[in-house]
């Protein structure tokens, strides 16, 4: 009970502090939505004040003329304008506050950003084997000496990308589709050589979420959503450059005319594109006014697990031809260089400290600045109710005080 009272008091106090900050620190003006009511109020308000004074005068006359003197002396005090002026002022504030509320007062709100719905997104996701690595995790535990059965599996099934870098990307994207990317056109493009448009530009969250579903073996999966070996430049696999090219093509063929174009990159930075090709793609992005953001995933070098069979069970780790175990780290230098070339924002997605919704919204949400109204209707209504309660408590306290003090005064007079 006391905790509820404390929380309510804190909420009310914060409510009024916010109003004070708005009116006295940011904006000093108050406007009214229903200005047409001024004519009615100009007539009603003086009438209400006159009625209040008349009621007060009649109240004092009746108090002097009626009632048993003993009860009046016990429960009441002598009524005069001088003794009642502050109560009268508080009572007059009640109708004034209600009239003020009926005018729908508001103050210009603080400028804030709201979605404008005028942006198309292409999400470029690295599909290399390193994206299947799991940060700070050990190998799955074999059961009954069979490495194809995992202690965390159910019914012999083991989702091999659970907890991996790719799984982190899926989780982040599914969250963004309900917030920053809600009701917008989004395309999913996987790359590790040839860029593959997994989902064309669509505003269907069901299609996108189905592709991002970890249980969907035909959705976004490590090493399976795009092909290796195609799109080579000078004998090297061109990764992110190929994805940028595919994204620009998607925007050109499926993008909405007049919409901003925005590319999201998710990967561990293992990009070995040709410098000339990358430079050419970045130049075309600038020419087409394509915006973007770079989200890096990964950390310290870790082993890359291998999964075999129809159920994709754990069967060891990738090794080089000489038998040395292959590891995948986080090539931040490539991502920083890419951010410098494109002018895009770069963020490292740490699974333990992911950016909040507001941070993602500030980066991704296409928005416009809007100054909304800070509606003040609640404040005068709360003031009127508070005055009613205050007057009631004051009258109750005064009555109780007179009841207690009356016998004491009688006792002292007899002595």
- What tokens does 301 get? 């070098």
Sign of CA dihedral 40, 41, 43, 44: positive
- The CATH homologous superfamily to which domain 117-365 belongs is von Willebrand factor, type A domain (3.40.50.410)
19-39 pLDDT, tens digit per residue, is 776 666 655 667 777 766 777
pLDDT at 290: 92
pLDDT at 111: 62
Enumerate the CATH 3.40.50.410 domain ranges in the chain, comma separated. 117-365
**Model confidence band, residue 157 (pLDDT cutoffs 50, 70, 90):** very low
Q: Which long-range contacts (CB under 8 A, 24 or more apart) does 404-408 make?
A: 406/73, 406/74
pLDDT at 180: 81
In angstroms, the Cα distances linking 144 to 259, 306, 313, 314 are 57, 20, 15, 14
**Model confidence band, residue 396 (pLDDT cutoffs 50, 70, 90):** confident
Above 90 in pLDDT, residue 193? no
Least trusted range by pLDDT, from 119-128, 149-158, 245-254: 149-158
Continuous segment of H or E residues that includes residue 317:
strand 313-317
Q: Read off the pLDDT of each residue in 100-120 and give the average, rounded to a whole number.
A: 72
Q: Read off the pLDDT of each residue in 371-378 and give the average, rounded to a whole number.
A: 74
Above 70 in pLDDT, residue 371? no
pLDDT at 83: 62
Among 15-29, 329-343, 386-400, the range of highest mean pLDDT: 329-343
pLDDT at 123: 94
| Higher-confidence position of 355 and 173 | 173
Residues in contact with 273: Cβ distance below 8 Å, sequence separation at least 6, in sequence order: 233, 236, 238, 239, 240, 241, 242
Above 80 in pLDDT, residue 196? yes
DSSP string over 85-139: HHHHHHHHHHHHHHHHHHT-EEEEEEEEEEE---EEEEEEEE-SGGGG-BTT-PP
Q: How many residues does the chain have?
A: 415
Least trusted range by pLDDT, from 184-198, 289-303, 324-338, 359-373: 359-373
353-365 pLDDT, tens digit per residue, is 788 777 787 788 7
65-109 pLDDT, tens digit per residue, is 555 555 555 555 555 556 667 777 787 888 888 888 878 887 776
Q: Read off the pLDDT of each residue in 231-236 and give the average, rounded to a whole number.
A: 54
- Tokens 């009649």 identify what position? 58
**Model confidence band, residue 139 (pLDDT cutoffs 50, 70, 90):** very low
Entry pTM: 0.57
- SS3 assignment, position 250: helix
- Neighbouring C-beta atoms of residue 390, cutoff 10 Å: 12
């Amino acid at each position: 009970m006391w905790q509820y009272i404390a929380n309510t008091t804190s909420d009310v106090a914060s409510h009024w502090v916010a109003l004070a900050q708005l009116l006295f620190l940011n904006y000093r003006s108050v406007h009214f939505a229903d200005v047409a009511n001024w004519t009615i109020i100009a007539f009603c308000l003086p009438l209400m004040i006159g009625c209040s004074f008349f009621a007060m005068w009649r109240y004092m006359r009746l108090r002097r003329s009626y009632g048993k003197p003993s009860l009046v002396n016990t429960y009441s005090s002598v009524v005069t304008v001088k003794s009642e002026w502050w109560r009268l002022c508080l009572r007059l504030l009640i109708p004034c506050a209600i009239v003020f509320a009926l005018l729908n007062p508001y103050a210009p709100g603080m400028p804030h950003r709201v979605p404008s719905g005028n942006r198309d997104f292409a999400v470029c996701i690295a599909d290399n084997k390193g994206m299947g690595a799991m940060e700070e995790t050990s190998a799955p535990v074999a059961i009954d000496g069979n490495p194809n059965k995992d202690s965390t599996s159910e019914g012999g099934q083991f989702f091999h990308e659970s907890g991996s870098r790719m799984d982190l990307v899926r989780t982040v994207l599914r969250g963004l589709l309900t917030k920053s990317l809600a009701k917008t056109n989004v395309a999913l493009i996987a790359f590790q050589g040839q860029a593959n448009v997994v989902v064309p530009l669509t505003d269907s969250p069901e299609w996108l979420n189905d592709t991002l579903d970890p249980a969907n073996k035909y959705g976004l999966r490590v090493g399976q959503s795009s092909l290796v070996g195609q799109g080579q430049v000078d004998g090297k696999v061109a990764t992110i450059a190929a994805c940028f090219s595919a994204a620009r093509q998607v925007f050109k063929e499926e993008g909405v005319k007049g919409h901003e174009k925005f590319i999201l990159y998710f990967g561990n930075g293992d990009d070995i594109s040709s410098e000339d090709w990358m430079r050419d793609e970045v130049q075309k992005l600038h020419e087409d006014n394509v915006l973007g953001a770079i989200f890096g995933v990964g950390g310290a070098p870790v082993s890359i697990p291998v999964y075999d069979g129809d159920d994709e069970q754990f069967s060891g780790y990738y090794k080089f031809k000489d038998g040395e175990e292959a590891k995948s780290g986080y090539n931040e230098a490539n991502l920083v260089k890419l951010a410098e070339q494109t002018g895009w924002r770069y963020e490292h997605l740490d699974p333990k400290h992911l950016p909040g919704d507001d941070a993602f919204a500030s980066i991704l949400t296409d928005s416009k600045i809007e100054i909304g109204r800070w509606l003040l209707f609640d404040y005068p209504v709360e003031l009127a109710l508070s005055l009613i309660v205050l007057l009631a408590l004051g009258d109750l306290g005064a009555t109780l005080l007179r009841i207690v003090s009356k016998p004491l005064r009688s006792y002292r007079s007899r002595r």
